[in-house]
A = this chain, B = another copy of it.
Amino acid sequence: MFFKFAFIRVIRQLANIRVKKPLPLCTFGIISPMFEYTLHSTQGRARAGTFNTPHGALETPVFAPVGTQATVKTLTPAQVKDVGASLVLSNTYHLYLRPGDELVRDFGGLHNFMQWDGPMLTDSGGFQVFSLSGTRKVDEEGVTFRSHIDGSKHRFTPEKSIAIQENLGADIIMAFDECADPNDEAYIVKAMERTHRWAVRSVEAQTRSDQALFGIVQGGVNPDLRLESAKFIASLGTPGIAIGGLSVGETKKQMHDVLDVVNPALPEDKPRYLMGVGTPEDLIEGVRRGVDIFDCVLPTRLARHHAAFSPEGRLNLKNATFKRDERPVDESCTCYTCQNFTRAYIRHLVVAKELLAGTLLSIHNLHALIHLVKDMRVAVLDGTFEEQVPAWLDRWAGNASKNR
């Protein structure tokens, strides 16, 4: 106990924050066995592990579909399970505004409200709030912003974000952080330092012991700042660590460089979560650099815009090319969509503005990314990861941004 408080003092000095209230006893470096991360195998920096959560063991690496408003768009939870998802992410900002985190709490938390019985993760609302450029104002205590729904005024602080996330009740929750424009070097330092102080405040604010709170590494694309941030966040002893502020406009090389600096500085026995990433190529390069958890809206968003991942590159199913195409989206895919429907049928649905198009393409796109990451896990376990990387990169090349 003495050691724990001494440790807290050091952290507080590093973070330069004032203590405002007695510390809860459950913070700093106390990891419930329910959040144990077991590393089964590594190959290079790629890892295969298991992360225990109150709603089941999560086999990593893992790709999580995004259910922004307590639903993975167009899919029932049964369909989300069918595509192979084990972890689902939902957004604190959106749920706070609608239907309200207290309502979700009163309905037994997100798991019960949306009927997803596997592991869940919520973000802190930080990224969404900072995306509301023009309508938000940051100060040391928190962020004031206006709702995108009705323009009403709201305020998030680290304490508020944690309170909301405790109401939502996900298994994995995030510290409140500040994302900054990766090209504004001067501001990035400020945002990183504030993120560190807010991480400490987030950890202090936590009252539930059945949620794994992850600190978030920031620092833009500056390797020195990223290293500093990784060390600081690692020192907090949270049961997992997230890497934020990437996939926001930087180059692929910059993203890889950051991962090359950050991951080696993080503890081996904690899962690492690369927030908001990404394309098939990003997932391959991420796992290769030691990332364990990914999430991205890309598969479901593309689906609503008629686009599908495929070995031929990203397909736009509205294209007249597919009018009489008897093949499935991906002939080697085992998803419900590819096992049953032709490109011609999906194109018909798109042209006829039938919502089933979005459902079928969401099923395929999610299945593709989830199973790509599952395949990488198997390869790490059987020691063939590095030799398979070129084939995966080759297979998924052309899915980064362009539609065919």
Contacts of A70 in B (CB 8 A): 345, 348
Question: In the complex, which residue of chain B has the Cβ closest to the Cβ of A70?
Answer: B348
The answer, among B107, B344, B355, B358, for a CB contact under 8 Å with A107, is B344
Are B76 and A345 in contact (CB-based, < 8 A)?
Answer: no
Cβ-neighbour of A73 out of B73, B76, B79, B356 (below 8 A): B356
Q: Does A99 contact B (CB under 8 A)?
A: yes
Given contacts A336-B76, A344-B107, contact A99 B323 (CB under 8 A): yes
A77 to chain B, nearest CB (A): 7
Enumerate chain B residues within 8 angstroms of A352, measured Cβ to Cβ.
69, 94, 98-99
Question: In the assembly, how many copies of this chain are there?
Answer: 2
Is A344 touching B99 in the complex (CB atoms < 8 A)? yes
Which of B69, B113, B345 is within 8 Å of A113, CB to CB?
Answer: B345
Interface bits A43-76 vs B (CB < 8 Å: 1, else 0): 0000000000000000000000000011101111
A147 at the interface (CB under 8 A from B): no
CA distance A219 to B98 in the complex (A): 53
Which residues of the other chain, B, contact A341 by a CB distance below 8 angstroms? 115
Complex CA–CA separation, A75 to B74 (angstroms): 10
Within 8 A of B (CB), among A63-110: 69-71, 73-79, 94, 98-99, 103, 106-107
Residue of B nearest to A114 (CB): B345
A contact residues, total (Cβ < 8 Å): 39
Distance A341 CA – B116 CA, assembled complex (angstroms): 11
Q: How far is the CB of A103 from chain B (nearest CB, A)?
A: 7
Q: Kindly list chain B residues whose C-beta atoms are within 8 Å of the C-beta of A360.
A: 76
Contact status B359-A76, CB under 8 Å: yes
Task: Looking at the assembled complex, report how far the CB atom of A72 sits from the nearest CB atom of chain B, in whole angstroms.
Answer: 8
Q: Tell whether A354 pairs with B71 under 8 Å between CB atoms, given A344-B103, A359-B76.
A: yes
In the assembled complex, which residues on chain B have CB atoms less than 8 Å from the CB atom of A103? 323-324, 344
Contact mask A345-387 → B, CB, 8 Å, 1/0?
Answer: 1011101101110111000000000000000000000000000
Q: Does A263 reach chain B (CB closer than 8 Å)? A: no
Q: Mark A314-349, 1 if CB is under 8 A from B, else 0.
A: 000000000110100000000010001110110111
Proximity string of chain A (11-51) to chain B, C-beta cutoff 8 Å, 1 when within and 0 when not: 00000000000000000000000000000000000000000
Closest 9 CB pairs of A and B: A99-B348, A69-B352, A115-B340, A71-B356, A74-B355, A71-B354, A113-B345, A98-B352, A355-B355
Task: Please list 26 pairs of residues, one from A and one from B, whose beta carbons are closer than 8 Å in the complex, sorted by A's number.
Answer: A69-B348, A69-B354, A70-B345, A71-B349, A74-B355, A74-B359, A75-B356, A76-B336, A76-B359, A94-B352, A98-B348, A98-B352, A99-B344, A99-B347, A99-B348, A99-B351, A103-B323, A107-B326, A107-B342, A107-B344, A113-B342, A113-B344, A114-B345, A115-B340, A355-B358, A359-B359
Give residues in A with beta carbon < 8 Å to B: 69-71, 73-79, 94, 98-99, 103, 106-107, 113-115, 323-324, 326, 336, 340-342, 344-345, 347-349, 351-352, 354-356, 358-360
